[in-house]
Structure 1
Amino acid sequence: MITPRKSAERKTRARFHPPMIIMCALIWVLLWGELSIFNVVAGALLGVLIGLVFPLPSIAGAGRFRPIGLARLLASLIFDLVRSSVAVVILILRFGDQPRNAIVGVQLRSRSDLYLTQTAEMVSLVPGTLVVEARRSTSTLYLHVLNVRGEDDLELARRIVRTNEARVIRAFGTRAEIEALKTGAPMPGVPDQTANGPGGEQR
């Protein structure tokens, strides 16, 4: 149960976000090109003002920072970047073959805004795929996929998205979420019938 006191504390944390205040102070000093107490204080006050006028919304679903999971996440991202870049270059150099593209919809396992955003960023960073829409209400990503030759390529794109989501959860998820990944059970708070994502549609 969320008491009024806890609700007020959450609102205070949302308005006074220390990393944002520090970042604003740093940017302000860089803009002025001079490190001084006045510039640091002015930048910090600017960060506080921004937090008051434009408070950040609270993000549900964040677990904890897991160094091993994050290291695997970064290593996998670098590998995917290199592999996909080579595939795109080969496709560009191939003459007389017009690649077919597709829009694929993939519903994520979790319902976390944080995981949705991180997964979308990872998918978009890899050449050959680009997220064109993200629906927060259903945790669904719609992405443009390059060089689709059939249903197997559509299924591969869906699998890549879900694999990236799993990597994100293993890097930042709770124990319950990671355990759900291992057992194949629904994520905490997600009904079983919503675990399956929608199909893709070629265009």
Structure 2
Amino acid sequence: MSGRGAPRLLGRPVPLSQVAWLTVVWLLLWGDLSVGNVLGGLLAGLIVVWLLPLPVVDTGLRIHPVAALIFLIRFARDLVVSSFRVAFWALRLDRPPPVQIVEVRLRSSSEVMTVLLTVALSALPGSLVLEVHLGERELVLHVLGLTGDVQALTQQDVTRLESRIVAAFGTHADQEELR
């Protein structure tokens, strides 16, 4: 929170969201929900955010609600498909699943988008990010259970996922970079 629009206390902005989070932490530490603990948490939170203001940090993350909903729906579908693919290979006892190490190119140069993509890929069963080469815009993936042209299939899947992530969470500059 940048402090714009936040209430002020003795000339300094007091971000209420930070006070609320600190109050929740206070209550969790005390382990007892009482009026005294809530008031004590609010007071402690106010003192901390007023005495130790955090610098304004732009994470480079913007949430576009419609695109984020589309990303979540498609990511859930990808989770189900990937889970079935891994389960299919796990239940086939006659031969081991095909496994390959694949390098894929990224279109975005944003570190934030690369981190989100890396997390999303690693969350999908059957894929794991082994290396990230930011300067070259490359990921090295361990891919399980794909047959055919694994390089091309993986590149297409990663490009689609990257596009959905940038559409859902990227800045306008990130989105322009992909066009």
RMSD: 3.1
Structure 2 CA distance for aligned equivalents of residues 77 and 88 of structure 1: 16
Equivalent in the alignment of 1:162: 159
Gaps of 5+ in 2: 1-13
The verdict on how the C-alpha distance between 1:38 and 1:120 changes in structure 2, with shifts beyond 3 A counting, is same
Match of 1:113 in 2: 111
The residue type equivalent to 2:152 in the other structure is E
Equivalences for residues 31-50 of structure 1 within 5 A: 31-33=29-31, 34=33, 35-43=37-45
Q: What stretches of structure 1 of length at least 5 have no aligned partner?
A: 1-15, 186-203
Distance in 2, Cα, partners of 1:18 & 1:102: 49
Does structure 2 retain, via aligned residues, the 8 Å contact 1:66–1:172?
yes
Residue 180 of structure 1 deviates from its aligned partner by 5.4
CA 1:56–1:92: 2 relative to 1, 3 Å: farther
Equivalent-residue separation in structure 1 for 2:52 and 2:143 (angstroms): 38
Of structures 1 and 2, the larger Rg is shown by: 2
* CA distance, structure 2, for counterparts of residue 168 and residue 147 of structure 1: 24
Inter-partner Cα distance in structure 2 for 1:122 and 1:180 = 20
* Cα distance in structure 1, aligned partners of 2:135 and 2:71: 26
Equivalent residues of 1:25, 1:46 under 8 A apart: no
User: Relative to 1, partners in 2 of residues 1:72 and 1:29: Cα closer, same or farther, differing over 3 Å?
Assistant: same
Give CA-to-partner distance per residue, 1:132-152, whole Å, 9 cap, x none.
Answer: 2223333322221113445x1
Q: How many residues align?
A: 162
- Asked if the contact 1:106–1:158 (Cα under 8 Å) also holds between the matched residues in 2, the reply is yes
Offset at 1:174? 4.1
Among the aligned pairs, what percent are the same residue? 33
Q: In the alignment, what sits opposite 1:138? A: 136
Secondary structure of residue in 1 paired with 2:135: coil
Give the TM-score of the pair, scaled to structure 2. Answer: 0.72
Aligned to 1:76: 74
